[in-house]
Structure formats: C-alpha cells, structure tokens
Amino acid sequence: MAEKVVAAVLYPDFQMLDATGPLEAFALTNRLLGGDPAYKVVTTARQKGPVEASSGLTLMAQTSWDQLGENLDTLIFIGGRGVRTAMKDKDMLFSARRLSGMARRTASVCTGAFLLAEAGLLNGRRATTHWDDTDQLAREYPRISVQRDDIYVRDGQFVTAAGVTAGIDLALALIEEDHGRDVALATARMLVVYLKRPGGQSQFSRELSAQATSSSRFERLRQWIFDNLDKPLSVEDLADQAAMAPRSLARRFAQDLGVTPAKFVEHARIDAARRDLEDGGLTIDKIAANRGFGGADRMRRSFQRSLGVSPQEYRDRFRSKESV
C-alpha cells in the first residue's frame, strides 16, 4: 500500500508548533505501527528550502506546492503571524484550491482557517480557529458557521482546529479515523496528551485565563471541587468552604470565572465522568455515584444537555478496546 502523503503548507512567519505538532503525531504513528510507513510526512511551500517561523527558527520545505500531487492524502494549512500576508498571495490561494481538490481531506490549524476561508473553501461549512480569532473569522466570512468552543470541527473533507496545540488533537482524530482508537490512543500516550481533551477551547480564553490567574481567592475552592466531586457541592457547601456568604460567593465566582458555581460544578462532574467512561472499568451507575450526579438519570440529562449524547453513547464511541 502506498504511503499517504501528509503535507503541511508553510509560509514566512508561520507558527512552528502548528506545523510540528500534528506532523510529529503522524510520524509517531508510523513508528508505532511498524512495517511500511502509513504516512509520508512532508513540508511544502512556494519553493523548496528554509522557511522562517515567527519564532525566528526555520523549517525546511521539502517540496514546492507544484510538486505535490501523487498520493496527496491530507493537506494541512498552518496558522501564524504571517497569515495576513499569505492571504494576499494569489498563487497560494490558487494552490490551496487546486491541492484541496486533489487531497482526500484538507485541514487547518489555528489561523490557517483564514487561508481556507479566503480561498472560498469553507463557505457554507462549519469551522473553528483560535479562540482569540473566532469573532474575526465570523465577521469577515459570514458564510462560515464558526464554532467558537470546538477543539476541532469536521465538515465533509475539511477539518479545522483551534489554536496551536489543537493541531495535535486534530491529527489524533485523523489517525483514529485511519487506524482506529487504539492506535490513536497509543500515539496520544506517547505524546503525553489526552486523546480527547476535556472541555472546549473557551476554557483557555483570555478572559477566563486572566480571571483564573489574577484572583487566587477561588483557586483553592476550584481544586477542592475537583477533589470532592462525590459530594453534593451546593452553593452553600462552596460558600462554607470559601468562608463567604452564599449570595456573595455566587456573585463573585461568576464575576471572576465567568460561570456560575452550579455550572462550574456540573462541567467538572461531566469532565471527570467522561474520563471514567473512556477508561471503561466502572458501570454507569457507579460513575454517576462517584462523580456526584446522584443517579444515572441525572448524569444522562447532564450529558445530553452539554454534549448532545448519553453516557452510554459516549462510552460506546470513545472507550478503548483495551478496557473492554
């Protein structure tokens, strides 16, 4: 079987990790599978040769755009500080349309989505980008349905990822699509990352990050919540732990963290239950009890409300065969 070419498209001032993160995931999968490589990982640019990233480091483009073609499977457009200049490059936009028509799937990492958008490839599709750029993507390209919280979005042959390290999440999803969950999980473990990271990218937004780091008054409370998910965790319980009046806690918690205490607790329970379901060792009733849902029915309602699937559907989709 011929190698599937996975090509990352470079341009001056690209973001280095946008390129190397997903490419390393594909390369590591080759090593884990053994035998003939499943993927041929390449970098491409207008011309062969060194391309300087925004960090000042350089990455060699192994081939030019015009030389791509045979066995092109996955085309990845990289984000970075130079994306605005790249968007004005008519040759790049033409090549994006041409190569996308040849590839089985076309992907973007971070602001690489703007290149696909400018080429008209995302019109009428769902897509995402770095959380700091989702509003701009929606404003400049109203024909795109921008998904602000997703780590990655698949719409037909197009797969767009959120910022920087989300390119690894994207690569793992594509590896799972090609070789199954166990191979993708083994790759994730070697990279020391989640196969399915908990939560969406909104948890990394500038507002929430600034609030979480600028105010230490709730940091201990948050950790206490994570450590005590088997307990009821009412607003009154949290207020006692924080030595505050319940109404004062609710108001300040929402101001500092951008979410109500009840919603924060629910999200924490769901994220913990998701990991339990992926591991597969406990029954759904036991997970519901351990994570403080008070029963499987309540956990099911929470999953349906937040994730759009039941706990059993989530387990069937995401648990490893190793845990069956």
Same domain for 91 and 158: yes
- Provide the CATH number for the domain around residue 256: 1.10.10.60
Query: Is 110 among the residues known to form the active site?
Result: yes
pLDDT at 166 over 90: yes
Q: What is the pLDDT of residues 62-108, one digit of tens each?
A: 999 999 977 899 999 999 999 999 999 999 999 999 999 999 999 99
Q: What is the pLDDT of residues 244-290, one digit of tens each?
A: 999 999 999 888 777 889 988 998 898 889 888 877 789 999 999 99
Q: What percentage of residues in the chain have a pLDDT greater than 70?
A: 91
Residue 200 inside a domain? The answer is: no
Same domain for 324 and 265: yes
Residue 199 inside a domain? The answer is: no
Same domain for 187 and 215: no
Q: Could you tell me if 179 and 186 are in contact, meaning their C-beta atoms sit under 8 angstroms apart?
A: no
Q: Mean pLDDT score of the chain, rounded to an integer? A: 89
Write out the two tokens for 67.
């030389």
Instruction: Report how far Cα 209 is from the mean position of its chain's Cα atoms.
Output: 17
Write out the two tokens for 137.
């993507």
If you average pLDDT over residues 3-22, what whole number do you get? 96
Report DSSP state, residue 70.
Answer: T
Same domain for 218 and 129: no
Residue 196 inside a domain? The answer is: no
Q: Considering its fold, how many domains does the chain have in total?
A: 2
- Provide the CATH number for the domain around residue 174: 3.40.50.880
Same domain for 129 and 15: yes
Write out the two tokens for 144.
């795109």
Task: Report the alpha-carbon distance of residue 291 to residue 268 in Å, rounded.
Answer: 9
Task: Report the alpha-carbon distance of residue 63 to residue 51 in Å, rounded.
Answer: 12
pTM of the model: 0.70
Same domain for 149 and 32: yes
Expressed as residue numbers, the domain containing 110 is 4-191
Residue 198 inside a domain? The answer is: no
Kindly name the residue from 6, 25, 72, 110 that is annotated as catalytic.
110
- Give burial (CB, 10 Å; 0-12/13-18/19+) of 283: exposed
